[in-house]
Structure 1
Amino acid sequence: MIGGKRILGDLDRRSLFTGTAAFVAIGVGGGDSAAAQSDPLPSWNEGPAKRSIVEFVARVTGPGPDFVPVAERIAVFDNDGTLWAEQPMYTQAYFILHRLQALAPNHPEWETREPFASLLKGDMRRAASLASEADIAEIMTVTHAGMTTDEFESSVREWIGSAKHPETGRLFSRMVYQPMLELLAYLRANGFKTFIVSGGGIEFMRPWTEAVYGIPPEQVVGTAGGLKFELGDGKPVLRKLPTLVHNDDKDGKPIGIQRHIGRRPIAAFGNSDGDLAMLQWTAAGPGPRLALYVHHTDAAREWAYDRKSHVGQLDRGLDEARAKGWTVVSMKDDWKTIYP
């Protein structure tokens, strides 16, 4: 429960995301439970990717010249495509579509006006091909702005509690990656503070990240719009404005890290070129560093995409990872399971 509201259907999973044993329980069936719990990453296959994580954690937490104080153990994670699925389009785009459908009765002109008409018909590719920057700004304004932050949070909670992925039929909150949930728990068990640094809207993510990932709202960095303090019926409220304050994508990610966190991370996890600057910023610091890319290579259990994808393109980042020796995780080869 968060704020007295259940946001994940009948199961409040916050308690499930507080330790490694919980991840073993929900993600891995059968076998010797004691042996499973001795492995902090049971959903990861043995290999270079898993070994690089375990060896890094051992280096920075054990005695020796590479020891990093707890206060400096900062790990940052992209969200879309790194912690949960982003195909065939970003989850927040489905939320925007939901908001448009709810508002459509008051806007009959949208039935013939593009890209609204295509969006309301569910033709996302056509809508994307027709939308100008001005259209996108207007869509964000009508679906996100004007409400108070409390009203917007309530709309997100209500939606995330029941919305399902159109292809898998799973709740979006269950389209998370079991191996990454284990990784989050493993890092926190070793004194790391875990942050989300995402191009997604900060106000969209904060209502549910604690229940889903164990990451509280104050440890979420994202794209931010303007806010205005005002008195509504004598009560102070914050109202969302149709202005962009910070775009937390690409070069904006290191800027967001500096503004919100104030420490350079020692570990960064992403899946696309949008995360490249964040990984570069992290890897450039002194001492041991871990820069890791999740590579979507599993067409059978998830999706396979990289250089040519319209969502989550991984092109420059893949080349740089290989050139600099960063860890590249193959979902097909390195993960025993995908979803909880």
Structure 2
Amino acid sequence: MLTLGTCWPGTGAPDDRFSGAETGERVITAGVGCDPLPSWNDGPTKQAIMDFVARVTAEDSPDFVPVEERIATFDNDGTLWVEQPLYVQGIFVFDQVRALAPEHPEWQERQPYKAVLENDTAALASLSEEQIADMVLTVHAGTEQEEFIGAAREWLAEARHPRYNTSYTRLVYRPMLELMDYLRSNGFRVFIVSGGGVDFVRAFSEETYGVPRENVVGSSLEYEYGADGRLTRLAKLSKYDDAGGKPESIALHIGRRPIFVAGNSDGDLAMMRYAATGSRPYLNLLVHHEDARREYAYDRESHVGRLREALDEARALGWPVISMSQDWKRIFDDGTI
């Protein structure tokens, strides 16, 4: 079976990404020795991906899907980059709270701000989504979109992961970058559908994943347009893009049902069910974090990226479950692990 893939002549897959530079620019090749997924171990998961792509792109296949309907949606946290020990945007918000604390002395005795200011790690780990959302609304309201994106980019350039001591944008999963590239080379449009803030993900999606800002769907605040021409973020949640909110947002912002979905938690299950109940062939991929040596091991009882119902359903329905320890030769795009 011949599969078109995004490969690097003579090398397989380098560490360069989406700079558009002439040196190391991606090209489409086909032939013996071209592995479009070189960071994936050979096995059932990799084969399921390649077989699916071959089936839906071959015009003589009964499962052929026209290019305009080849929609792939990826979750972000825990699917494309590391989400432990806390969601990256949560850490960003905590740092913003600390920076603004001198202007808000009342936060010293008000939870969850008190836990942030005292660096109470146990309390921070158990914060509810509603508490984090409250901080997001408080800290980020009143800013313009580009102002917020600029602040997020500045923070991402300086922040370091507590375990790996490197920037978060270097802790993206190399196998998933290859997968997105492979899908694009076969006519898929790739979208990120995240429970995280849409503008936070847009701050790095293009440079890190090759996903343009307009292809990012996520949780959002409401905006208000003023007579001065400013578009300002309000302290009011417009859409929480998790669980059932994901297929709702896909219908609203993309307008087509995905045939390829990748996620890692129960929050992605509704998006997978949405793909599964369509009339087209589909493939749902579930990332299972069980590689404590190279990354983290967590699922059913985790406060971050809980994976319980989706894992059971994937196994029952035969959806491929990615074992990070068995399916991935390497984890991160920085080349260290």
Q: Same fold per TM (> 0.5)? A: yes
Task: Select the residue among 180, 191, 198 that pairs with 2:187.
Answer: 191
Q: 1:316 maps to what in 2?
A: 309
2:41 is equivalent to residue 48 of structure 1? no
Q: Deviations over 1:4-48 (max 9, x none)?
A: xxxxxxxxxxxxxx9543981118xxxxxx999700000000000
CA contact (8 A) 1:114 1:130 kept: no
CA separation of 1:242 and 1:197: change in aligned 2, threshold 3 A: same
CA contact (8 A) 1:75 1:266 kept: yes
Partners of 1:248 and 1:211 lie apart in 2 by 23
2:78 is equivalent to residue 74 of structure 1? no
Task: Select the residue among 42, 54, 57 that pairs with 1:58.
Answer: 54
Q: Deviations over 1:148-207 (max 9, x none)?
A: 112111111111122111111110001100000000000001110000001000111112
When normalised by structure 2's length, the TM-score is 0.88
Taking the TM superposition and a 5 Å limit, the aligned residue runs for 1:64-213 are 64-127=61-124, 129=126, 133=130, 135-213=131-209
CA contact (8 A) 2:97 2:139 kept: yes
Q: Which amino acid aligns with 1:324?
A: L
Taking the TM superposition and a 5 Å limit, the aligned residue runs for 1:8-19 are none
CA contact (8 A) 2:90 2:132 kept: no
Q: 1:13 maps to what in 2?
A: none
2:265 is equivalent to residue 275 of structure 1? no
CA contact (8 A) 1:298 1:332 kept: yes
SS in 1 for 2:247: helix
Offset of residue 120 of structure 1 = 1.7
2:300 is equivalent to residue 307 of structure 1? yes
Q: Which amino acid aligns with 1:145?
A: A
Offset of residue 325 of structure 1 = 0.8
SS in 2 for 1:259: helix
Q: 2:237 maps to what in 1?
A: 244
Task: Select the residue among 221, 246, 255 that pairs with 2:248.
Answer: 255
Identity %: 52
Q: Deviations over 1:83-122 (max 9, x none)?
A: 0010011000011011111111212232233221211232
Q: Which amino acid aligns with 2:64?
A: F
Q: Which runs of 5+ in 2 are unaligned?
A: 17-29
CA contact (8 A) 1:61 1:68 kept: yes
CA separation of 1:25 and 1:204: change in aligned 2, threshold 3 A: same
Q: Deviations over 1:240-259 (max 9, x none)?
A: 00111111100110001000
SS in 1 for 2:191: strand
CA separation of 1:100 and 1:286: change in aligned 2, threshold 3 A: same
Q: 1:226 maps to what in 2?
A: 222
CA contact (8 A) 1:226 1:243 kept: yes
Partners of 1:172 and 1:304 lie apart in 2 by 18
When normalised by structure 1's length, the TM-score is 0.87
Q: Which amino acid aligns with 2:159?
A: A
CA contact (8 A) 2:137 2:237 kept: no
The answer to which structure has the higher helix fraction is 1
CA contact (8 A) 1:20 1:182 kept: no
Partners of 1:50 and 1:277 lie apart in 2 by 24
CA contact (8 A) 1:147 1:239 kept: yes
SS in 2 for 1:326: coil
Q: 1:291 maps to what in 2?
A: 284
CA separation of 1:246 and 1:72: change in aligned 2, threshold 3 A: same
CA separation of 1:23 and 1:94: change in aligned 2, threshold 3 A: farther
SS in 2 for 1:159: helix
Partners of 2:202 and 2:214 lie apart in 1 by 8
Q: Which runs of 5+ in 1 are unaligned?
A: 1-17, 28-33
Q: 2:15 maps to what in 1?
A: 26
CA contact (8 A) 1:115 1:128 kept: no
Partners of 1:26 and 1:222 lie apart in 2 by 28
CA contact (8 A) 1:114 1:131 kept: no
Partners of 1:287 and 1:131 lie apart in 2 by 37
Partners of 1:314 and 1:81 lie apart in 2 by 11
CA contact (8 A) 1:149 1:237 kept: no
